[in-house]
């Protein structure tokens, strides 16, 4: 019997607080591929809290450094392409050639958003009075929830996760309970790339909690994941790694007066 796969929360691989496990089988042969945790609300809350603590320090990492880290992730994914695509084919039932294509897309997204992130600028706006300077700056949302479909367990979430990281967000992932092993393997690669806690330092993580439209974000995301996933929330890769859905940055308009 395989060991139960751990959960990545706050920089550590730990056992889920909800002591429920799930067998993951090859849909074609029913061979056992692994055993994962069925995480509960306490696990979700712990992951969101950890991501919220890490986000301010991750935002402050310069764009050029973020780009280098994202490129490192892309290189590690390409180096591990055969193992990743084989695992995806076995747990999803996809043809191997399609799984290989999915993994290539994941690596390409990390490379692409590495460059987009370090070339993202604000906008200057013509003033309406001589004493004004108007401009916009782009700011991260904070913590992003990625809820992953079973048929594309890597390509769909990683269309957005690299963009979120480049934008200064952190994220919590809820893989499909049917196919969580590919995401777990990708989480291991992200951690080994240096993208995780090692880039932030424990001292930087003890920061204020992020607020989202007047609500505590941990509670907001906990409701989001509960409502979307029911009791099968967050599975073996439910953790935080140094991501919001679709629109990953908000633009703030700032007006400064030069009048003395």
Q: What is the pTM of this model?
A: 0.73
| Site of tokens 């929330």 | 233
**Residue ranges of domains in the chain:** 4-257
Which one, of 137, 201, 167, 157, lies nearest residue 66 by Cα?
Answer: 167
The HSE-up count of residue 93 (CA atoms within 13 Å, CB side) is 11
| Site of tokens 């990743």 | 84
Please write the tens of the pLDDT for every residue from 79-129.
Answer: 999 999 999 999 999 999 999 999 999 999 999 999 988 877 778 888 888
Average pLDDT value for the chain: 77
How far is it, in rounded angstroms, from Cα 200 to Cα 52?
A: 13
How far is it, in rounded angstroms, from Cα 227 to Cα 221?
A: 10
Tell me which H or E stretch contains 135: strand 132-140
Please write the tens of the pLDDT for every residue from 157-194.
Answer: 999 999 999 999 998 998 998 999 999 999 899 888 87
Asked if residues 125 and 135 have their Cβ atoms less than 8 Å apart, the reply is: yes
Does residue 41 or residue 96 have the better pLDDT? Answer: 96
CATH T-level fold of 4-257: Aldehyde Dehydrogenase; Chain A, domain 1 (3.40.605)
């Amino acid at each position: 019997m395989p060991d139960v796969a751990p959960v990545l929360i706050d920089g550590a691989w730990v056992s889920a607080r909800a002591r429920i496990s799930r067998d993951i089988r090859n849909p074609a042969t029913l061979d056992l591929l692994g055993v994962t945790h069925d995480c509960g609300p306490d696990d979700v809350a712990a992951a969101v809290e950890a991501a919220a603590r890490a986000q301010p320090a991750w935002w402050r990492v310069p764009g050029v450094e973020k780009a280098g880290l994202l490129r490192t992730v892309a290189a590690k994914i390409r180096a591990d392409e055969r193992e990743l695509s084989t695992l995806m084919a076995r747990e999803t039932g996809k043809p191997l050639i399609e799984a290989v294509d999915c993994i290539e897309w994941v690596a390409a997204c990390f490379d692409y958003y590495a460059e987009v992130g370090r070339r993202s600028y604000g906008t200057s706006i013509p003033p309406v009075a001589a004493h004004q300077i108007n401009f916009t700056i782009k700011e991260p949302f904070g913590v992003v929830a990625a809820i992953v479909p079973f048929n594309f367990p890597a390509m769909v979430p990683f269309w957005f996760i690299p963009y979120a990281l480049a934008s200064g967000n952190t994220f919590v992932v809820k893989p499909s309970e049917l196919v969580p092993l590919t995401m777990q393997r990708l989480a291991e690669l992200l951690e080994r790339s240096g993208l995780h806690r090692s880039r932030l330092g424990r001292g930087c993580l003890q920061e204020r909690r992020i607020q989202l439209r007047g609500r505590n974000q941990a509670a907001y995301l906990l409701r989001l994941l509960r409502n979307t996933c029911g009791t099968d929330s967050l599975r073996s890769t439910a953790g935080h790694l140094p991501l919001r859905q679709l629109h990953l940055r908000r633009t703030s308009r700032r007006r400064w007066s030069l009048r003395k």
